[in-house]
Amino acid sequence: MRWIDLLRMSSSSLRRRKLRTFLTVLGVVVGTASIVVMISLGLGMQQSIYREIEQSGGMTAITVTGKAAGDQMVYMGDDSEEEATKYITDETMKELEKIEHVKSATPTLTMSSVMLAGKYYGYVQLVGLTPEEMKRQNMKLVKGSRLPEEGSATLDLVFGNGVGTMFYEKGTDKGYWETQQPPDINFMKDQMFLILDQQAYFNSQSQNAGAEMGSGGAEGGTAQTVKPPKKYVVQGSGMVEGDIESYNANYYNVYCDINALKSMLQKEYAGRAIPGQPTTKTGKPFRFFAYTSAMVQADDIDHVESLAAEIQSKGYRVSTNAEYLKSMQKQFAMVQAVLGGIGAVSLFVAAIGIANTMMMSIYERTKEIGVIKVLGCSLRNIKQMFLLEAGFIGFIGGAVGNILSFLMSFAINVVTGHGSMMGMDGNISYIPFWLVAGSMLFAIFVGMAAGYFPAVRAMKLSPLEAIRNG
């Protein structure tokens, strides 16, 4: 019997039993869509981690932290690791650069500050980096942006696309999280002021609030004059790509040239201790300047582990993107196994439905099978006919299931704000081509596997008994 005849007979049989075929196909649709969507969630999370690692120096990057310095300490690593015994200073950077297999070593300084823009004020996190390190971060900037330049008359800033959420309106003290409306600030064009001395700013605000309350209070009171904080004119040189709902690794940060920031801090706090900098027991600052962390680039990924161990032996804490990736991959493997298992159970139930449908089809077509055997149809052709029917069910279910999975994936990404609701960069659900192709082949395989034993059963039917009992 020709293949075209087998295909015609198989499709005709499925059309004759529309309701049963529909219900069986529906089981495959649910199973396929479940597997694809579940795996896509794991892939989406994995893609987000890869992007985060790329933006933080890649697989050869080593983050080095010392004793706490800066307003925010970058903490990475396991609690079981030894605490750092040294600060990260300029001498540290020279020491790190001399180590074998170190390609580059650059400092990082993180400081909390206050920023004023028109009728808004905001508490922002300044991240000082070298121009080389900023280039290495692979920040995706909006058109017309540029990275900060060394030696600029003003402090050039690159704003994360989520910095607007850190600003509040004067008078109402309401921000994005209360109003769900971003501030009316053009970070690239509007004039902005930076206040490094937060304590002076808070004191001045308290004085103003006290003066307003005292104006209608008891007479004779004198308010102590508080020196207003120094304001620095700053300008936006760049903005990270994405709207306020698009989360990424640079979302909350404001980036600037580390040398310019360091110089401003030393001038602002001349003779005083800079917040976050180490001091003596009497509160006096040390002569050296301590950085928050250092980013070390190994010359090859094979040297990352040994290099990290050597740096740690010198009294610093280290963490690598490679370690982070391994840890996350283990978690993703577990998540994907659980999610894929849930989908597999659905497809297994669908396979049982296919097997049941094919067995029922055999019992209903017993006479037909006997007739075609008498007419000379080979056992092989009979087997192929039933396998084709089961394969058709798997193919249709797989195709519709993939269409449904794309719709579900789109809905998930829209509801979660393309991952921003979960703190992810990019889509939370990601369906690559290989997953579509693999799920189609798997659905067809499941269908044919489920139809194998019914097909063998059809082969073993006696022609005369089939005609007599049919």
Residue 327, pLDDT above cutoff 70 = yes
| Helices marked H in 183-238 | 198-214
Rg of the chain over Cα atoms, rounded to whole angstroms, equals 33
Structural domain contains residue 315: no
Give the single-character DSSP code of 286.
Answer: P
Q: What is the pLDDT of residue 468?
A: 57
Whether residue 83 is found in the same domain as residue 205 = yes
% pLDDT > 90, the chain: 19
At 221, the pLDDT band (50, 70, 90 cuts) reads very low
222 shares its domain with 345 = no
Whether residues 94 and 166 fall in one domain? yes
Domain, as residue range, for 363: 3-53+328-469
Q: pTM of the entire structure?
A: 0.65
Q: Do residues 19 and 77 share a domain? A: no
CA neighbours closer than 13 Å in the CB half-sphere of residue 294: 31
Tell me, yes or no, whether 307 lies in a domain.
no
**Looking at the domain assignment, is residue 428 inside a domain?**
yes
State whether 208 and 283 are in the same domain.
yes
Q: What phi and psi values does residue 293 have, to the nearest 5 degrees?
A: -160, 175
Same-domain pairing of 230 and 262 = yes
Last residue in a domain, options 280, 299, 318: 299
Confidence of residue 341 (pLDDT cuts 50, 70, 90): confident
Residue 107 banded pLDDT, cuts 50, 70, 90: very high
pLDDT at 379 (0 to 100): 66
Residue pair 260/150 in contact by the 8 Å Cβ criterion: yes
Backbone angles phi, psi at 402, to 5 degrees: -70, -40
What is the number of domains present in the chain?
2
Question: Do residue 207 and residue 268 come from a single domain?
Answer: yes
Q: What pLDDT, in 10s, does the model give residues 136-155?
A: 887 889 998 998 887 777 78
104 and 238: one domain? yes
Does 214 map to a domain? Answer: yes
| 11/143 same-domain check | no
Higher pLDDT, 327 or 365: 327
pLDDT at 55 over 80: no
Among 278-287, 404-413, 416-425, which stretch is predicted with the lowest mean pLDDT?
A: 416-425
For the chain, the distance separating the N- and C-terminal CA atoms, rounded to the nearest angstrom, is 23
Q: In angstroms, rounded to a whole number, what is the distance separating the alpha carbons of residues 11 and 216?
A: 90
132 occurs within a structural domain: yes
- Judge whether 281 lies within some domain: yes
**Is residue 314 situated within a structural domain?**
no
- The answer to whether position 247 is within a domain reads yes
Whether 346 and 388 share a structural domain: yes
| 200 and 68 in a common domain | yes
Tokens, residue 117? 């823009």
Residues 48 and 68 in one domain: no
User: How sure is the predictor about 425, in pLDDT bands with cuts at 50, 70 and 90?
Assistant: low
